[in-house]
Structure formats: C-alpha cells, structure tokens
Amino acid sequence: MTAHGEGERDEAGQPANVPSGSPESIAVPAARERARAIPEAAVARLAVYLRVLSGLDERGTTTVSSEELAAFAGVNSAKLRKDLSYIGSYGTRGVGYEVSVLIGQIERTLGLTKKHRVAVVGIGNLGHALANYGGFLNRGFPVAALFDLDPDLLDVPVGGIPVSAVDDIVEVCREREVTIGVIATPVEGAQEVCDRLVEGGVVCILNFAPVVLRVPEHVEVRKVDLAVEMQILSFHVARRNQEAAVVPGIAGNTADVGPPGDRVNGNGNSKSALERGDVDGMVVRP
C-alpha cells in the first residue's frame, strides 16, 4: 500500500520533486518528530483507522466526521481526535476529515509509503495459513520468501512461493530485500532463526514462538502469544465479576474473584499489573 497522491521518494523519504528548503521539505522532519511521540496504543488504533478509511475510500466516500469514523473503529470520538492530533490532522469543523488526505497522513506515519517484503519461517499449520493470507499483499506486505527445515517441503509452492531451506535464510532475504520476518517455529529453533533473519537484513520481526528473543538495538520485535491474549481476556472477565460482586455503599467489601493480589477495593478502582502496563519483557537487547 502506498500513500495516496505520493510519487517517487528520495532516500530521506520525502517526494523527490520537492526542493530542499521548501515548506514541504521542512514539514518532513516535523512529521517524523510527531511520529516518535505517538504512544504505542495510539499507533495500533491508527492502523484500525486506516483499515476503516480504506474501506470508505473503496466505496467512494470522500469525507467522514470524527463521530462516524470513531463508531466504525469502535472507539469514542474524543480518543479518535486525540490520536489524529498526533499526526497533525484536525479535520474541518462541520465537514470532518477528507478520506484520501487522512489515508495518506496515516500511511506516512506508519511507514507505508513503500512495500515491506515479508519472509515466513516455519511452514507448519500456522506458517501455512500466514503464507496463504491475501490480506498481507493488500496492505503493502507481500510475502516474498518461505523457509522450513522439513526436506519434504523444500521447493513445494505455498501461496505461489516455493519453500526454501532454513540454511538459505541469509542469502534469500538479502537477495529479495526482505525487511520483515515472521517466526512460526517451535521454541527450540526460534533464536537461531531470528539471528539468521537479522544477518539477512531483516529489521522487523513478528514472533509467534513463545520465547523471548535477543536482538540488536536496531531490530524491532512484536511478540504474538495467543495463550497470553486469552489470559488477558480471562483477567477482564474476572475483573467484571469482581465489580459485579461488590455491594454498593459498603466500604471495603470485595469478592474473592479473579487474579490474586489485584482485588477491587471498596471504590472499585484498584489497578492490576496489566492495567498499569508493568507486564512487558517481550524483547531482550544485549
């Protein structure tokens, strides 16, 4: 996916036909500074807004109000306006946001002005499904390489791409200019695969293996652990049960429901480690 209305860009990421020192040129570093200040939770919501806006654009919608966009994205309009203010987009009173313009702003912020080629390592059930997922290509993330240890899978096309040997990760990733690696291997081989991907020039890793990866400072890692996500859902269900069991007007009354050490106080306003954001540790850097 490329930004709407964008032409060729130079190495600094700005349009090649924009002269140095012009207002457009000066605006690029400012946009980068704003991007660095965006909270991670807001970045995730920007991706959701982009998906919604792309759908509106495909249907021929040219403008959208903050209330409409917030409803489509499942957030409140105040939060949406706050998120969009991070990228310098404030809309027009009585009109809202121009869909194509906002798409371009979000794409630039998310670094989607160029395609990121993806490699998937581990072509088991999960890797096979990821390799066949058409949504990656539609959003600017074409799968360019697949790798596995199983000799029976080598050269077998999955999603139209032949599976290569894990030993060839470095060479193939460099040759095909892969920037994102997806690790869908067992725990035992995940770190070795990660090291090979990094050596091959990969700078972003999406890790499905339940293990903490050690990576250089310049490499970004996102951990996807479905069991952890289910545990978080369980926590929220337990918290709701706690709140429902508190008798209004009786200070200190709590129900012994949910995670130990995170009981709801008489006002129902205690916070867990998950809510405080104390739980992290997904990436280790040497």
**What is the β-pairing status of strands 63-64 and 97-98?**
antiparallel
Q: What is the pLDDT of residue 166?
A: 96
Sequence-separated (6 or more) residues with CB below 8 Å from residue 99 = 53, 56, 57, 61, 62, 63, 64
- Assess if CATH 3.30.360.10 describes domain 117-223: no
Single-letter amino acid code for the residue at 175: E
Looking at residue 34, what is its pLDDT?
Answer: 54
Q: Looking up tokens 């867990």, which residue turns up?
A: 272
Around Cβ 264, how many Cβ atoms within 10 Å? 21
Q: Which residues contact 37 (CB under 8 A, 6 or more apart)?
A: 86
**Coil, strand or helix at 64:** strand
Domain ranges of the chain: 23-109, 117-223, 229-281
DSSP type of residue 166: G
Q: What is the CA radius of gyration of the chain?
A: 23
Fold topology of 23-109: Arc Repressor Mutant, subunit A (1.10.10)
pLDDT single digits (tens) 202-247? 999 999 999 999 999 999 999 998 888 899 999 999 999 988 887 5
Determine the residue type at 59.
Answer: R
Where b means 16+ CB within 10 Å and e means fewer, 195-206 reads: bbbbebebbbbb
Cα separation values, 127 from 58, 180, 285, Å: 30, 14, 26
Q: Which residues of the chain have pLDDT under 70?
A: 1-36, 247-286
Tokens encoding 18: 């924009």
Tokens of 79: 């939060």
Topology alike, domains 23-109 and 117-223 = no
pLDDT at 209: 94
Non-local CB neighbours of 248 within 8 Å, separated by 6+ positions = none
DSSP H/E element including 257: none
pLDDT at 247: 53
